[in-house]
Amino acid sequence: MDKLLIEGGIPLEGSVRISGAKNAALPAMAAALLTSDRVELTNVPHVRDIITMGKLLAHMGAIVETPELPPTSMTIQAEQVNGAEAPYELVRTMRASILTLGPLVARTGSARVSLPGGCAIGARPVDLHLKALEQMGAEIGTSHGYVEARVPGGGRLRGGNVFFDKITVTGTENVLMAAALAEGETTIGNAAQEPEITDLADLLIKMGADIEGAGTSTIRVSGKEQLYGATHRVIPDRIEAGTFLVAGAITNGSLELTYCEPEHLRSIIAKLRDTGVEIRETAPGTLSVRGARKLIAADVRTEEYPGFATDMQAQFMALATQAKGTSVITETIFENRFLHASEMIRMGANISIEGRRAVVHGPTELSGTGVIASDLRASASLVLAGLVAKGETLIDRVYHIDRGYERIEEKLSSVGARIRRVQ
Ligand code: EPZ
């Protein structure tokens, strides 16, 4: 099992290229199931979840070609996907497999997808996905841990009014893809507004879909009989960019981030500026960050986009341990997303958890020790803590971080971090 060994205390200096967004590439790959033509995706990050999704699509009969070197371009052609299913052994390693459900039902009239099950940060149900597909005419059954969906008589899904009781990113993506091939009009109410939704809609429109309102809370889709091949460049990863902004800030260094999209980072940038961090847009797609001589505590509340992203909460907590004063962090999206706090406390942080709130007193000196990663973003926050801690930090279970960060130790080493992968 790989580990990351970090020697802390070195200010990071230099330029980092931000990769394509994992959470945009995953739905884009699933969208290839909607057509028998070739779909080409570029700027796809070379991370474990993408490899897993590629295996899943190949298991379903699609041809998936991925040249080895990042930045990765990928072509997918799903000519024959009848009777396709998403087996548990693949789904359990990547919840986003649920994104194949909507496209498969819309394309073939039936689908069998393993229920993803929970993960460290919460139960992560998919009830809203299933309810929405039922509202579009699918019959949904769950048995032996699988979702079985079928359109009666093998016909097409029919468009309709879908309103999400709760904002769900992949739920919105599943319905958007299903509606693209459904019969008639679909309105999606209380839709997620993340940039990854807009990026998926851009791809679907290139494939011939008729979509309006992506990026707002109401999306209208006029279903088509057929969709076609397309070429699409995946948007930059706003969470990777946010993570490197914190890396520059927490080490009191000076970093330049290239190939990013500042427009997707407004709430993250605003919050980091509140703590005294200097962030400037120095060129299109380029951000520069300089650590503050003195970091000041700030409160943060995670919210759906355009609010402060839950996927940046753990990284912000690492920064808060070095900020002067008390930071109150409220996690409104997931019920159990403070697992990183206990590991930071072992490094010397002063954090107390009260339900959905974490109260961080700083600054505290962190000292390196052995820590265990629990989930993707928690592991990123432990890397950040290790970069500022005195001495060496050994992070176990780094397969979590490999799911969503492309070559993180190479990128960090290239700007001066003392980090290496060990067995
Ligand atoms: C997406 O997960 C992201 N994953 C997550 O990123 C991200 O944290 C999350 O959105 C929130 O922004 C991908 O895009 C692949 P949700 P998703 O459905 O779609 C509840 C990462 O780090 N809910 O928006 O699964 C759910 O339990 C990952 O890259 C239901 O109750 O999140 C949660 O409390 C982690 N029923 C809330 O809604 C449902 O049917 C938001 O979940 C669906 C969701």
Q: Measured between alpha carbons, how far is 336 from 85 in angstroms, rounded to an integer? A: 30
Mean pLDDT of 95-123: 90
Rounded distance from Cα 102 to ligand 1 centre (Å): 16
Residue 68 has pLDDT above 80, yes or no: no
Mean pLDDT of 63-75: 81
Supply the pLDDT for residue 69.
62
| Number of the ligand 1 atom closest to the C-alpha atom of 130 | 40
DSSP state of 269: H
| Number of the ligand 1 atom closest to the C-alpha atom of 173 | 19
Looking at per-residue confidence, does 5 or 118 come out higher?
A: 5
Mean pLDDT of 226-235: 98
The predicted model scores a pTM of 0.97
Looking at per-residue confidence, does 95 or 405 come out higher?
A: 405
Q: What percent of the chain has pLDDT over 90?
A: 88
The amino acid at 120 = A
Give residue ranges with CB within 6 A of ligand 1.
23, 26, 96, 122, 124-129, 166, 168-171, 310-311, 333-334, 376-377, 404
Q: Measured between alpha carbons, how far is 319 from 383 in angstroms, rounded to an integer? A: 11
Supply the pLDDT for residue 75.
96
Query: Which of 97, 169, 377, 402 for mutating ligand 1's site (highest number of atoms within 8 Å of CB)?
Result: 169
Residue 119 has pLDDT above 80, yes or no: no
- Inter-helix orientation angle 101-108/127-135, to 10°: 20
Supply the pLDDT for residue 67.
72
- Residues 6 or more apart whose CB falls under 8 angstroms from that of 327 comprise 297, 298, 299, 300, 317, 320, 359, 360, 362
Average pLDDT, the chain: 95
Q: Which of 5, 51, 63, 119 is catalytic?
A: 119
Closest protein CA for atom 1 of ligand 1: 169
Cα–Cα distance list, 69 to 30, 120, 126, 143, 421 (Å): 22, 31, 34, 40, 19
Residue 71's pLDDT band, with cuts at 50, 70 and 90, is low
Of residues 236, 238, 237, 177, the one with CA closest to residue 211: 177
Supply the pLDDT for residue 333.
96
Q: Measured between alpha carbons, how far is 31 from 106 in angstroms, rounded to an integer? A: 11
pLDDT, tens digit (0-9, with 9 covering 90-100), for 246-277 = 999 999 999 999 999 999 999 999 999 999 99
* Bridge partner residues of 39 (DSSP): 76, 230
Supply the pLDDT for residue 83.
80
Residue 239's pLDDT band, with cuts at 50, 70 and 90, is very high
Query: Which of 330, 333, 336, 408 for mutating ligand 1's site (highest number of atoms within 8 Å of CB)?
Result: 333
Closest protein CA for atom 25 of ligand 1: 170
Q: Please answer whether residues 62 and 81 qualify as being in contact, where contact means their C-beta atoms are separated by less than 8 angstroms.
A: yes
Residue 117 has pLDDT above 80, yes or no: no
Q: 345: burial class by Cβ within 10 Å (0-12, 13-18, 19+)?
A: middle
Supply the pLDDT for residue 70.
58
pLDDT, tens digit (0-9, with 9 covering 90-100), for 296-348 = 999 999 999 999 999 999 999 999 999 999 999 999 999 889 999 999 999 99
Mean pLDDT of 185-209: 98
Is residue 119 flagged as an active site residue? Answer: yes
pLDDT, tens digit (0-9, with 9 covering 90-100), for 202-217 = 999 999 999 999 999 9
| Number of the ligand 1 atom closest to the C-alpha atom of 196 | 14
Supply the pLDDT for residue 91.
87
